[in-house]
Chains A and B, each alone.
Chain A
Amino acid sequence: MTRFTLRAAGLALALSAVASVTQAHNAWLLPSTTVLSKADTVSVDAAVSNDLFVANHAPLRLDGLQITAPDGSTVKPESEAKLKLRNVFDVNVAQPGTYRIAVVNNGAFAAWKDKATGQNKRARGTAETIGKEIPADAQDVTITQSAGRIETFVTVGKPSALKPIGQGLELIAAGSPTDLAKGEKATFTLHLDGKPAKDLEVTVTAGNTQYRDKLDELKLKTDDKGQFSVTWPAAGMYWLDASTKDSKTTVPQAKERRLSYAATLEVMP
């Protein structure tokens, strides 16, 4: 049962591009601290929920967890714990500079009609395995590729430049994503496979949504250069998300690729 719930959460995540059809839950990482003055440990919550940042629905699967140190090396999470409503892990941030903590989901899902019963069936897998999930006699098969990134950033000392990923949707901050302050304007560029993503909607929502009546999210749009800017109305943790779809699939048979991006950003008072 738990397993099924987790899968469903993962699927909801992969399907966040269809948010217009059914309200998908928000997937988020919440670091205990984003700005440190010395090497230390940061604790990170990972969950999927409607309320930001309240772990009241399901944990976020950490299969695709990738922690990158300022020098580009990979850092292993520590003290990982799988809880019922959230997953938790520690990151030993030992180097000066900016760490990228990301959960990357690259997969594929399939939908088809079972020949014998006529029932609708669905399966989720990777680019390699999705073919095996579908019976040979399945009808009306549609395969969709998904590429999602959920991330956050932590800086020890002076921020360092982040190496762009160049794949899927990603956020590039002018300056550092850990250098945001109330009342100041921050400029970002959204990239799709390393190129500016034009005319894409970006949503920025302040945390603590459970303590206000309106969501009050900022709905922004990237310009011709893929840029957008935010003047932070208040200090706090913010969740930024964007999604899109295209036909640049790498999975055989897949016609559509759904891309999603979410980042947790801290704004200082």
Chain B
Amino acid sequence: MHLRYSLAPIAMSALFAAPAIAAGLSVNIEIPRLNVSEYHRPYVATWIERADSTMAGTLAVWYDVRTKTNNPEGEGTKWLKDMRQWWRRGGRELAVPVDGVTGASKPAGKHQLSFTEGSGAMPKLAPGAYKLVVEAAREVGGREVVTIPFQWPPTAAAQPVAAGKEELGEIKLELKP
């Protein structure tokens, strides 16, 4: 279990600052190890969609955060649009980088994200049906979208799981009432 990047503070603040009544969710995203000749870490966007496929909120975006000054290949933001579904649903409305939402692309392995409703990246959600969507797009590689439907607010703790076939491994959603 790697918690290597900057999301630890969010998880911590959620633990300490949020009142006990706020519901939350955790997402565990597996980036598979791929046996390919040219490997680049995938761009990954994680967000919540309403039942009508509109964007409720972007939880996390991992991309190549290098800029022109420290990357001869140019700015990594150029390829954000390759996470096509996220880009169309609302990614293009964001001005990256966004504190607590965007971060550097991650290596193969499992990555845990935790959110509390109404704090950090997770918006307050009206009761209803939602989807957790994880989209990965890899340079010289493929693209994959994994979706997990869920009901909000959760009435009981639940851990729905889905898995990608190519660009994403196991995606685990943990609902915390």
Chain A residues with CB under 8 Å of chain B are 35-38, 40, 157-159, 179, 181, 268-269
Contact = CB atoms under 8 A, between A and B. Distances in A.
Contacts of A38: 75, 77-78, 80
B19 to A, nearest CB: 35
Nearest to B95: A157
A155 to B, nearest CB: 8
Interface in B74-89: 75, 77-81, 84, 87-88
B87 A181 contact: no
B33 interface: no
Contacts of A269: 84
A37 B63 CA distance: 12
B88 A37 contact: no
Contacts of A157: 92
A158 B88 CA distance: 9
18 contacts: A35-B81, A35-B87, A36-B78, A36-B81, A37-B77, A37-B80, A37-B92, A38-B75, A38-B77, A38-B78, A38-B80, A40-B78, A157-B92, A158-B92, A158-B93, A179-B88, A268-B84, A269-B84
Interface residues of B, number: 12
Ranked 8 nearest A-B pairs via Cβ: A37-B80, A37-B81, A38-B77, A158-B92, A35-B81, A157-B92, A38-B78, A268-B84
Contacts of A159: 92
B79 A37 contact: yes
Contacts of B79: 37
Contacts of A36: 78, 81
A268 B93 contact: no
Chain A binding site: helix, strand, loop or mixed by DSSP?
Answer: loop
B62 to A, nearest CB: 15
A222 to B, nearest CB: 26
A157 B81 CA distance: 9
A37 B84 contact: no
A49 B132 CA distance: 46
A23 to B, nearest CB: 36
Contacts of A37: 77-81, 87, 91-92
A17 B78 CA distance: 41
A233 to B, nearest CB: 18
A35 B78 CA distance: 10
A179 B81 CA distance: 12
Nearest to A180: B88
A268 B145 CA distance: 14
A173 B46 CA distance: 30
Most chain B CB within a 10 A radius of its CB, from A36, A157, A268: A157
- Of the candidates B75, B84, B88, B93, the one having the most CB atoms from chain A within 10 angstroms of its own CB is B88
Contacts of B84: 268-269
A32 to B, nearest CB: 13
Contacts of A158: 92-93
Listed residue (A36, A37, A158, A268) with the most chain B CB atoms within 10 angstroms of its CB: A37
A36 B81 CA distance: 6
A183 to B, nearest CB: 12
A209 B77 CA distance: 33
A10 to B, nearest CB: 35
Nearest to A96: B92
